[in-house]
Structure 1
Amino acid sequence: MLKLSALFISLSALLLASCSSNPPKSSYNNICSVFDHDSDWEDAALDAEKKWGTPAYILMAFVHQESRFKHDAQPAREYALGLVPLPRRSSAYGYTQAQDPAWYDYQKSTGNWSARRTNIEDSMDFIGWYNYQSFKRNGISRHDTYNLYLAYHEGQGGYSRKTYLRKPWLKKVAYKVTKQSIRYKEQLKKCNQAYSSSSPSKSKGQCRAAWPYC
């Protein structure tokens, strides 16, 4: 009985931990609130920025657009006759909405075969890696949110063929992501102020460790 109770407690803690990564909807538009909700987002975004060169505020804007920080996000499923579930439109899944082929390419390229699309660190690393491919293959600056997102959506080949020119709606989405990244960038400058004021032991204007946005 004691063993069953311990197992139940462990499983409950695991479920709660996995759910805690999803910020409340009220915080989606404020990157400081997302970081305060779960510091894993901050650590993963800054690690991916350092590793791949895409700023954290752009990485986070991608997640905001793709999944609204929902770990198991998937395309909507359609139903035949309103009853029979049909296959989903694509294999897009998780925080990044990466499809199976792109995720496999990432795993193969990085050797990170255990990477999961529901994992915060893996998701941030994937977006950073993909944007690095956009930089290498299509010469897109890793600070150019608009074109990085077009390549992210269309794929490297699609971007080079300019398939996005036939998709006015996609260009509007890319512009939306760009605005979100600018908003996040401005907020990041203020995150450290909130960090300093949250604890009496922090002196005014003190930077949190390894914080590049002071």
Structure 2
Amino acid sequence: MKKSLLLLPLPFLLASCATTPPSNVENACRIFREKPDWFDASLDVERKYGLPIQVQLAIMRQESSFKHNAAPPRDTLLGIPMWWRVSSAYGYAQVKDGTWDWYKDKTGNWGADRDEYDDAVDFMGWYASVSQRTLGISKWDAYNQYLAYHEGHTGWQRKTFNSKGWLVQVARKVDANARMYGEQLRGCRDSLGSSSWWWPF
């Protein structure tokens, strides 16, 4: 009886570990050594869509800090917090309801969940592909990929970010983080199991 009681919480502990953000978000190698299944998912997306792993990580870090259930703050009415939120964005990639439905409709990935890492990075790869196809943004261009991600394709075309100095600064930070992660991955990809890494320069 005592053994069964001791084992009872184990599934809950395992589930908690699976969804806990990485202990060190500054280092891509440490992220993937702690979360090897994340590396497998990100590598799949890189091969499928051509979106570099470092760009995936940089955007996700900015959007959710790698929290599976990240959500915007609740709206307020006369200073009182309400039950609804300021946006329907949710999950690792902070995707809104309508955009997530668009992704599922176009890809047929109807079982996708925004709080699953593999689904979130697959969305990122798909969205970056649309950004490249419709706007001509390179998938290696973390700065403009992030601006199109945040403002939407129409917003990027209209350059709405030009009136948002704070957003331009955020995009620069995303770009810097992507470069940092890329340099780190140069030194550890082989140890993470990659055998087919490529660079365009």
1:190 maps to amino acid = G
User: Following the alignment from structure 1 to structure 2, what is the Cα–Cα distance between the partners of residues 142 and 177?
Assistant: 13
1:208 maps to amino acid = G
Deviations 1:165-197 (A, max 9, x none): 11111111100000000000000012247x3xx
Greater RCO, CA 8 A, separation 6+: 2
User: Following the alignment from structure 1 to structure 2, what is the Cα–Cα distance between the partners of residues 159 and 60?
Assistant: 21
State which of 144, 147, 154 in structure 1 corresponds to 2:144.
Answer: 147
Q: Partner residue of 2:184?
A: 187
Using the TM superposition, give the Cα deviation of residue 87 of structure 1 relative to its aligned residue in structure 2, in angstroms. Answer: 1.9
User: Following the alignment from structure 1 to structure 2, what is the Cα–Cα distance between the partners of residues 14 and 211?
Assistant: 36
Q: Partner residue of 2:18?
A: 20
User: Following the alignment from structure 1 to structure 2, what is the Cα–Cα distance between the partners of residues 107 and 28?
Assistant: 29
Q: 1:14 to 1:212 in 2, by over 3 A?
A: farther
| Preserved contact between residue 74 and residue 81 of structure 2 (Cα < 8 Å) | no
Unaligned runs of 5+ in 2: none
| Preserved contact between residue 74 and residue 93 of structure 1 (Cα < 8 Å) | yes
State which of 168, 191, 195 in structure 2 corresponds to 1:210.
Answer: 195
Taking structure 2 as the reference length, the TM-score comes to: 0.88
Answering whether residue 94 of structure 2 is matched by residue 109 of structure 1, we say no
2:53 maps to amino acid = A
State which of 84, 89, 92 in structure 2 corresponds to 1:87.
Answer: 84
Unaligned runs of 5+ in 1: 196-206
1:145 maps to amino acid = A
1:1-214 → structure 2 map (5 Å cutoff): 9=8, 12-14=10-12, 16-25=14-23, 27-80=24-77, 84-192=81-189, 195=191, 208-210=193-195, 212=197
Superposed structure 1 runs of 4+ greater than 6 Å apart: none
C-alpha RMSD of the superposition: 2.4
User: Following the alignment from structure 1 to structure 2, what is the Cα–Cα distance between the partners of residues 104 and 134?
Assistant: 17
User: Following the alignment from structure 1 to structure 2, what is the Cα–Cα distance between the partners of residues 84 and 138?
Assistant: 39
Taking structure 1 as the reference length, the TM-score comes to: 0.83
Using the TM superposition, give the Cα deviation of residue 45 of structure 1 relative to its aligned residue in structure 2, in angstroms. Answer: 0.8
User: Following the alignment from structure 1 to structure 2, what is the Cα–Cα distance between the partners of residues 70 and 156?
Assistant: 25
| Preserved contact between residue 80 and residue 86 of structure 1 (Cα < 8 Å) | no
| Preserved contact between residue 23 and residue 37 of structure 1 (Cα < 8 Å) | no
